[in-house]
Amino acid sequence: MARSTRRLSGSDGRAYRGGRIRTGVRGVRRMWPYVLMAWERWQSLSDEEKERYKKHVREYANRGRAALDAAQAQRKGRPPGRR
């Protein structure tokens, strides 16, 4: 197995994270236009439409929680809904 010749710590003892930071910055730069478009779309919605979206998100979150609880209960051999 080949070993990396990159330094694992800087001269001041801090860990080297250049690659991870660079990857993160690249990801943020790629996602920024989509985030901006979503924000502009959200701002253009009426209050009723915003409430409708929030209601749907709450319902999706509750369904997800119920599915996780059921899966955990099944793994532990208990009926769903009981802790």
How much is the pTM? 0.52
What confidence tier does 43 reach under pLDDT thresholds 50, 70, 90?
Answer: very high
**Residue 1 pLDDT greater than 60, yes or no:** no
Q: Which amino acid, 53?
A: Y
What confidence tier does 77 reach under pLDDT thresholds 50, 70, 90?
Answer: confident
**Residue 8 pLDDT greater than 60, yes or no:** no
Question: 81 lies in a domain?
Answer: no
Question: 48 lies in a domain?
Answer: yes
Helix boundaries (H) for 1-83:
18-44, 47-76
Range of the domain at 49: 18-76
Question: 1 lies in a domain?
Answer: no
Alpha-carbon span 40 to 15, nearest angstrom: 39
What confidence tier does 20 reach under pLDDT thresholds 50, 70, 90?
Answer: confident
Question: 43 lies in a domain?
Answer: yes
Say which residue the tokens 């959200």 belong to: 42
